[in-house]
Amino acid sequence: MSDNSMPPNNDLIGDMLKKSEDEGGMKNLKGFGKPLPKEYFSGDTFQHFQRIAKDAGYKPHWLKLQHEISGMIDEISTISSDGEKGDLQRRVDKVNEKIAEHNRHCPPPMLKGRISLDSLEKAREVWR
């Protein structure tokens, strides 16, 4: 029996890299054409990936959310201290949606709780 009945393997990352390379996207990378430092070839592969990604300026989605949430909390706190109470609860609800998304993507030690209008100052400290 032949292997023609088997579906082809899907290599999504490989396909994305190939497409980017075909479009010339790989030549715009920082350090293109330069040898990798020797330390990248020793030790733990995952740690090296993290170091390379950090050196290239990559930020994980959850870290971007963390900065966004911090800014949103600062904005709510400023509006609250100015005495404008308008749509503060709606803004807090949006922040809590972002926090839920953050918690789905971040490492377990980085999980954070929901906020409320009564806990804005504490939330500002937690999210800095």
Q: Which positions ≥6 away from 25 have C-beta within 8 Å? A: none
Residue with tokens 């990798």: 36
Q: Quick check: 116 and 83 in contact, CB under 8 A?
A: no
pLDDT lower than 70: segments of the chain: 1-9, 25-27, 40, 84
- pLDDT the model gives residue 44: 73
pLDDT at 6: 59
Tell me, what amino acid is at 26?
A: M
What pLDDT does 15 receive?
Answer: 79
Which of 27, 33, 124, 21 lies closest to 77, judged by CA? 124
Q: What was the pLDDT predicted at 1?
A: 47
- What would the two tokens of residue 24 be? 């010339």
In the 8-state DSSP scheme, what is residue 42?
S
What is the rounded CA–CA span in Å between residue 119 and residue 83? Answer: 16
CB 80 within 8 A of CB 120: yes
What is the pLDDT at residue 59? 84
Break the chain into its structural domains and give their ranges: 61-126
Q: How many CA atoms lie within 13 A of 94 on its CB side?
A: 13
pLDDT at 56: 80
